[in-house]
Structure 1
Amino acid sequence: MSGKGFTVDLSKPLVFQVGHLGETYQEWVSTPILTEESPRFFESDFLEMFTRTLWWVVPVIWVPVGLYFIRLSYTMGHTLPIVVILAIVGAFVWTFIEYCFHRFLFHIDTTSYWGNTFHYLIHGCHHKHPMDGLRLVIPPAEAAILALMFWNLYGILFTLSTRPVMFGGGLIGYVMYDMIHYYVHHGQPTKQSLKSLKKYHLNHHFRIQNKGFGITTALWDGVFGTLPTTKAAEKSG
């Protein structure tokens, strides 16, 4: 059975169920369950192990890797000021990559069995269970695959000596992204800047899911016209 005739059993592994929802998947996955429960994805304990990640694993793994690549460009002849500037540029480039991934991949509109299954694995699960702290940051295995893809891409885009620092800066930007994303879901910010980020992102989850794709910054939402409207603007409209 699929579509309107199928009901997901939340007490059983979810990943190979959600595809059967067919055209009703988008409505189902956009209706959040507001508990911190971490539902089971797979029957296999081995596969299940790769779906859960503690937040602190991300900086422990990727900050040293990012710093290694940044230092590599320094050892290849770039001055320290240039390396610092390029690392900042690399982190800034990440914010654009982050926006594109979130808008064009994480929010694809799917109806097929495998399309729904893929979407649920990469992002749908986060919208269905937004408070699941073990599935909020990107698992290291998945991040390593993406990192390898971008390392190869950067080999085409940049020179031999600038490639490492741009890549390393991007990794530091990625760590900032995942840490901010975790914090806006589970932290209690006192600074106004972090309060605004938290409000901005939770607005994406619970009010307008097709706007507000930026996590570390709203810059690209402003550039590409995906800033969410305010409640006041909606009422006046």
Structure 2
Amino acid sequence: MAGKEFTVDLNKPLVFQVGHLGETYQDWVHTPILTEGSPRFFESNFNEMMTRSVWWLVPVIWLPVAFYFIKMSHSMGLTLPLEVIMSIVGAFVWTFHEYCLHRFLFHLDTKSYWGNTFHYLIHGCHHKHPNDGLRLVRPPAVAAIIALMIWNLYGILFTHSIRSVMFGGGLIGYVIYDITHYYVHYGQPTKQSMKSIKKYHLNHHFRIQKKGFGIPTTLWDRAFGTLPKTKAAENSG
């Protein structure tokens, strides 16, 4: 069925429908539905469960894993000061990984059936349903796949002891990222710094989806020219 003729039925599981939108998918997925419900993705209850996660599972699962890997580096002879420094470096490097994933993978322009389906599953669903509280953090299985990819990459780049502490620090960075992401959608920040992050991220959702890829920092957007202009700057330009 041609994309222009297809209408997604929101009362049925969505994932295997969206591919039929074809070239109209990008417009559809970036037109948000602002209700706070959690739409059904799959007929299978198991598959459906794997797409959802409560926010508190992120620190409960991944902080112990992070400290386990940092402790591994200590057992390999790394000193405590170096562990602390490399953990911070690992968390910082994670922000770059996240920026790259968000910019180059999560915002792919797709129009084929499987391209649209894949995009919707990994990120498009979040833009279509930004208030879905059960899909604001990564499900553990998805996070584990990304973590395994980074672990293997670090095996090429670093020695065993540095690999472990960098990976552990990266997991701490990931926890900070995902909890911040949840908070900017559902929290009501009072500090100006968090208000700015919330405004910056919601601007990415509702005004300029092709810019503003960083959470919780704008550093990489500034470095690579993807920091969106303010409305005042746009009007003056």
Fold shared per TM-score above 0.5: yes
- 1:101 alignment counterpart: 101
Secondary structure in 2 matching 1:13: coil
Secondary structure in 2 matching 1:117: helix
- 1:11 alignment counterpart: 11
Secondary structure in 1 matching 2:198: helix
Unaligned ranges ≥5, structure 1: none
Question: How far apart in 2 are the matches of 1:191 and 1:75?
Answer: 40
- 1:47 alignment counterpart: 47
Alignment: residue pair count: 237
When normalised by structure 1's length, the TM-score is: 0.99
Comparing 144-153 with 121-130, greater Cα deviation is found at 144-153
Question: How far apart in 2 are the matches of 1:99 and 1:153?
Answer: 17
- 1:144 alignment counterpart: 144
- 1:115 alignment counterpart: 115
- 1:35 alignment counterpart: 35
Aligned residue identity for 1:60: V
Structure 1 segment 1-237 matched on structure 2, within 5 A: 1-237=1-237
Aligned residue identity for 2:166: M
Aligned residue identity for 1:155: G
Unaligned ranges ≥5, structure 2: none
Q: Taking every aligned residue pair, what percent have the same amino acid on both sides?
A: 79
Displacement of 1:234 in angstroms is 1.3
Question: How far apart in 1 are the matches of 2:15 and 2:140?
Answer: 19
Displacement of 1:2 in angstroms is 2.8
Superposition RMSD on alpha carbons, in Å?
Answer: 0.6
Question: How far apart in 2 are the matches of 1:232 and 1:197?
Answer: 18
Hey, which bits of structure 1, 4+ residues long, moved more than 3 A?
Answer: none
Displacement of 1:72 in angstroms is 1.0
Aligned residue identity for 1:80: L
When normalised by structure 2's length, the TM-score is: 0.99
Displacement of 1:118 in angstroms is 0.1
Secondary structure in 2 matching 1:110: coil
Q: Deviations over 1:57-94 (max 9, x none)?
A: 01000000001101111111111010000000000000
